[in-house]
Amino acid sequence: MAPHGTTNRYRHYACRCDLCRQAQNTTQRAYRNSRGLVDATPVRERLVFLRENGVRLTRVAELSGWSKQSLWAIADGRQEKCSADLAEDVLAVRAPWESAA
Ligand SMILES: [Zn+2]
């Protein structure tokens, strides 16, 4: 039997534990996002800008709806491309004072 945290386990053994659901969600999301990968540089710059202005990555994750892990991978340069959806969501995150403008 496939281990927990795999889509195989989710699909073929109908396991709905947190790990398996997470694996399934991640895969579905990746599939939906296959419409295109974009250069992650603007996203990284945005994350740096937000951090320098007191908006922590955890907060960006909350606001954008993306996991802290995916944002980290971009922030520290490990990931050079990201989905167009992620870029859109992160670039839409505003620092508190920006929403007033
Ligand atoms: Zn499971």
Is 1.10.3470 the CATH classification of the domain at 37-94?
no
- Report CA(13)–ligand 1 centroid distance (Å): 9
pLDDT for the residue 55:
93
For the entire predicted model, the pTM comes to 0.61
Query: pLDDT at position 85, please?
Result: 87
The pLDDT, as a whole number, for residue 5 is 95
With both helix axes pointing from N to C terminus, report the angle between 57-64 and 68-75 in degrees, rounded to the nearest 10: 120
Ligand 1 center from residue 34 Cα (angstroms): 25
Ligand 1 centre to CA of 92 (Å) is 34
Q: Could you tell me where in the chain the CATH 1.10.260 domains are found?
A: 37-94
**pLDDT per residue rounded down to tens, the chain (101 residues):** 899 999 999 999 999 999 999 999 888 877 765 668 889 999 999 999 999 999 999 999 999 999 999 999 999 999 999 988 899 999 999 887 776 55
Q: What 8-state DSSP symbol labels residue 80?
A: S
